[in-house]
Structure 1
Amino acid sequence: MDSHGTPASGYWYGPDDRLDPPAAILQALRDYRASEVATRRSTRDSMGMGETDLLALRYLLRAKSTGERAGPKDLSRVLGITTASTTSLIDRLVASGHVRREPHPTDRRSLVIVPTVATDSEVRATLGQMHRRMMEVAESMSAEEARVVITFLRRMSSAISEERHQP
């Protein structure tokens, strides 16, 4: 161990984290995160767009599937970006054929941003198999296993969020 309590033989963990279950859990989370990041990068590359663009499409597709109308203000709020950045984002997505602007059906001063049918098909083709495999893993768990994993992940999310919000 060094002066910070870190094992001297590894960045975070010792050479055999299987002997230390908490370290093995954290390493498994890091491995999952690395796989997720690589997959997201590959998806962005194959679709020719950036992270924010992909997050916007995911939000817009989800809104469309639930019958919700999403406008520029909604995108700004969900993505945590400025109005100017949102306008640029929408312009890019319109130019690439991923979304279209439509008049709001009840507020003639507003617009709604709607993903195209082709976008829905492209996202399904790009991510569909991976989502099916992930769902198979989740469905293979017992109710008790699922409860433990859900509780753990929520507690980890809370632990990470607490650090972000400390002065």
Structure 2
Amino acid sequence: MSSKDEARRISGALIDPRVIDPRQELVRHDDLAEDELQQVIGVLDAVRRWRESEQRLNLESRTALQLNETDMKALRYIIASMNANVAVTAGALSEHLHVSTASVTKLLDRLERAGHIVRRPHPTDRRAVTVEITPETHRQVRRTMGLQHARRFEVARALSPEEREIVTRFLDDLSATTLISAPPE
């Protein structure tokens, strides 16, 4: 096997405990039959493929709109708020994004300069302004993120109620495994 083929094999096996932890120091797998081990690896590989496709979509959408990740989160929040007929203020965005109001002001300035949002006087508070997404940016976001969300909804909808519960439990349990920092040795 060439070194290039070997490199591809290793790259594709980074979730296989036989490759990443052959001495079973972190991942015990000797109690699984080969077909069970392959199933577990298959599940983790499917999660990896999902994450990569999500990252690609996010990057493509942000690139098309020339946005960073926080900008995109802000636009999605503005769209959801507008759909719910809720006025968006800098304070609401600050809370949603977990950033300072000064950071939100800079973000809004950037989005306004790029033609993604407009600021309008608040309907009931003369001291405040509201933020709305422009129709063109709204159309662009719907063509990318909105269409993808609709497709994902249909995939989840196609599951039986029992399957949805299993998937939800699995993903919640998987989310709970995320470490903020390495545990002490």
Q: Please state which band the TM-score falls in when normalised by the shorter chain.
A: 0.7 to 0.9
Identical aligned pairs, as a percentage? 35
What 5-or-longer segments of structure 1 have no aligned partner?
1-8
Aligned to 1:77: 95
1:85-134, Cα deviation, whole Å (9 max, x unpaired)? 21111001111111111121111111111112222211112234322322
CA contact (8 A) 1:60 1:115 kept: yes
Aligned to 2:180: 164
In structure 2, distance between residues paired with 1:132 and 1:18 = 34
Is the aligned partner of 1:138 residue 2:141? Answer: no
* Larger Rg, first or second structure (1 or 2): 2
Is the aligned partner of 1:92 residue 2:117? Answer: no
Aligned to 1:59: 77
2:177 aligned counterpart, secondary structure: helix
In structure 1, distance between residues paired with 2:35 and 2:66 = 40
Q: CA deviation at 1:159?
A: 2.9
Aligned to 2:7: none
CA contact (8 A) 2:15 2:44 kept: no
Q: Equivalent of 2:128, from 110, 128, 133?
A: 110
Distance change (3 Å), C-alpha of 1:23 and 1:97: same
Distance change (3 Å), C-alpha of 1:62 and 1:18: farther
Structure 2 counterparts to residues 143-158 of structure 1, below 5 A: 143-158=161-176
Aligned to 2:22: none
Q: CA deviation at 1:73?
A: 1.3
Partner letter of residue 134 of structure 1?
A: R
CA contact (8 A) 2:81 2:88 kept: yes
Distance change (3 Å), C-alpha of 1:125 and 1:18: farther
Is the aligned partner of 1:11 residue 2:11? Answer: no
What 5-or-longer segments of structure 2 have no aligned partner?
1-9, 20-33
CA contact (8 A) 1:61 1:120 kept: yes
Aligned to 1:3: none
Q: Equivalent of 1:36, from 54, 64, 75?
A: 54
